[in-house]
Amino acid sequence: MKVEQRLAKWARVEMTYDARGLPERDKRFLQKLIEASQYMDEAFWRQSGRGAVEVWDRLRASENAKSLLRLFSIMAGPYDRLEEFEPFMDVPPKPLGAGFYPDDLTREEFERYLAQHPEQRESLLSPYTVVKREGDSLIAVPYHEEYREFVEPASRLLKEAAELTDSRSLKRCLASRAEALLTDDYYQSDIEWISLKDNDYDIIIGPYEFYEDRLMGVKAAYEATVEIVDREESHNLEVYIQYLDDLEGALPYPEKYKRSIEGLKSPFVVVRDIYRGGHLRAGIQATAANLPNDPRVHTEYGTKKTFWKNMIGAYLKHISFAVARELIVPEQFELLPRQPDIALTLFHEIAHALGPRWVIQVDGSKTPIREALKDHLSPLEEEKADVVGLYCLGYLMGEGIIPREHEREYYVRDLASNLRGLRYGLAEAHALGRMCQVNYHLERGAIFYDEASGRFGVNFDKIASSVADLAEIILTLEATGDYEGTGRFFQKYGRMPEIVRKALGRTEDFPVSLEPVYKVLWE
Ligand code: ZN
């Protein structure tokens, strides 16, 4: 396969924003935010690994360089075989630890080292340090030192932008984030970002997600997006916040593990983005985010859920609908909506805010579940969000809060997006979680395979109870921090059955994800 064909897996989508009608000051403001975000993009490629840096340095001038490197950032599974690129790129395989650790450091060696040097544990496992060798020792270099050339100008631009907005909360948030980039202490700026209000613009900027670190799952990758807030639609979603505590109470897992999420601020924001960079722009394009990831902030303030409506619409238009036609039995395909709708995405994100955060040890001390579940947490947490989200939707329909008329549509949409998600390859965190859902529901008879058409469908009599039982399994694995148990669960349910592989084969030629091309019309 040629590089061009590989690139065709990514539907190029123009995301053009017309800023011509905005006041000059707003334009300058947005330009500064975009420029700051571009530095995060550069810092991310540095983080993503030796191979990427070398190639990036060499191909800097080439039009295709970034597109190709984006593909490398997932580089696994049936749709992303590195070999296909080797003749073109001459790239060494990307280490599991990307650029966060020495290339030759194995998980075993690292864990042995941590056990022998408990005093270094915190700094070496910090989300914001790069691990390096120094003689026989491992040392932790803070991000703000390692990536100084990127974070300093980004910080300066955020400070300048802060001078150009009248929103007091946004002004504070930008100034605070500018400081955080230079110290790697994000706590205060995270809180100010969650508490933003009355702002027409928003920005996510800094190191957030852990997916890029496949060695330990603890190092955060830089990312950024500049957003125009849809205040009316955001406001419409706020209604669900009042049910967060009810939902936690209704989750199917033992009471002793549950926590109160009373008084949580958990804003929903619907936006369109006019720029994305770094981890957010690498590989599969996200339609929503639940941030920040700091468990202290979750406990004290909750999280903010962002929905990128332009991206949700683009997926539907360019990929989802066509793929679902190939995978879903015709009578159920008819149930799928033609317009973008954020219900499932919304509940996926709500579910991220629910469930266990800490593993309570026998002596009463608390360990963050990320530390207990390590590399298993990302796929398990994504699966939790899908399954628990669907469970919550069912619960609110049962309570009469959400009308039942779309019930079947939701289950079919969930099946369609689970199957579609497998096209990313099982090494991707969300896809492994989806494979487990499909296999579990198949085993329970809650979804069926129609031999004649080679398509799948939902068994509406069984799906709700299967979703509840699967939710219980996942929540319990998280609450107990059961690393081995999670491994066994992935072993059992994480493989692709032949019937699924065959069905997906019919969608080979469809794009896998979107490659957004952002453009702003300034004048
Ligand atoms: Zn998620």
Name the pLDDT band for 79 (thresholds 50, 70, 90): very low
How far apart CA 271 and CA 202 sit, in angstroms, is 8
Distance in Å, CA 412 to ligand 1 centroid? 19
Q: Does residue 148 or residue 368 have the better pLDDT?
A: 148
Q: Across residues 69-90, what is the average pLDDT?
A: 43
Q: Distance, CA 17 to ligand 1 centroid (Å)?
A: 26
Ligand 1 centroid to Cα of residue 166, in Å, is: 33
Centroid of ligand 1 to alpha carbon of 343 (angstroms): 14
Cα(347) to ligand 1 centroid in Å equals: 10
Ligand 1 centre to CA of 376 (Å) is 14
- Please, what is the end-to-end C-alpha distance for the chain in angstroms? 41
Q: Please report the pLDDT score of residue 264 as a whole number.
A: 53
pLDDT, mean of residues 256-267: 69
Two tokens, residue 441: 């529901």
The 10s digit of each residue's pLDDT in 314-366 is 998 899 899 999 999 999 999 998 877 788 888 998 898 889 888 888 888 88
Share of the chain above pLDDT 90, in %: 62
Task: For residue range 384-437, list pLDDT tens digits in order.
Answer: 999 999 999 999 999 998 889 999 999 999 999 999 989 877 877 788 999 999
Contact 30, 226 (CB under 8 A): yes
- Strand-pairing partners, residue 273, are 227
Interatomic CA distance for residues 35 and 40, integer angstroms: 9
pLDDT in the model for residue 60:
45
Q: What is the pLDDT of residues 272-307, one digit of tens each?
A: 999 999 889 887 788 989 899 888 888 888 888 899
Please determine, for residue 466, whether its predicted confidence score (pLDDT) is greater than 90. Answer: yes
Residue 468 near residue 252, CB atoms below 8 Å: yes
What is the CA(90)–ligand 1 centre distance, in A? 33
**Which pLDDT score is estimated for 71?**
53
Mean pLDDT (whole number) for 495-500: 95
54 Cα to the center of ligand 1, angstroms: 31
C-alpha 165 – ligand 1 centre gap (Å): 31
Average pLDDT rounded to a whole number, residues 463-489: 97
Mean pLDDT, residues 82-108:
71
Q: How far is the CA of 25 from the centre of ligand 1 (A)?
A: 35
pLDDT higher than 50, residue 243: yes
Segment 3-21 mean pLDDT? 79
pLDDT at 10 over 90: no
Residue with tokens 């590195």: 82
Q: For residue 51, what pLDDT is reported? A: 46
Q: What is the largest CA-CA distance in the chain?
A: 65
Q: pLDDT tens for residues 40-78?
A: 998 998 888 644 445 444 444 444 555 555 555 544 322
- In angstroms, what is the span from residue 349 Cα to ligand 1's centroid? 6
Q: How far is the CA of 287 from the centre of ligand 1 (A)?
A: 9
How confident is the model at residue 2, as a pLDDT? 53
Query: Contact 310/204 with Cβ under 8 angstroms?
Result: no
- Average pLDDT of every residue of the chain: 88
Can you tell me the mean pLDDT for 476-482?
Answer: 96
What digits encode the pLDDT tens for the residues 180-206? 999 999 999 999 999 998 899 999 999
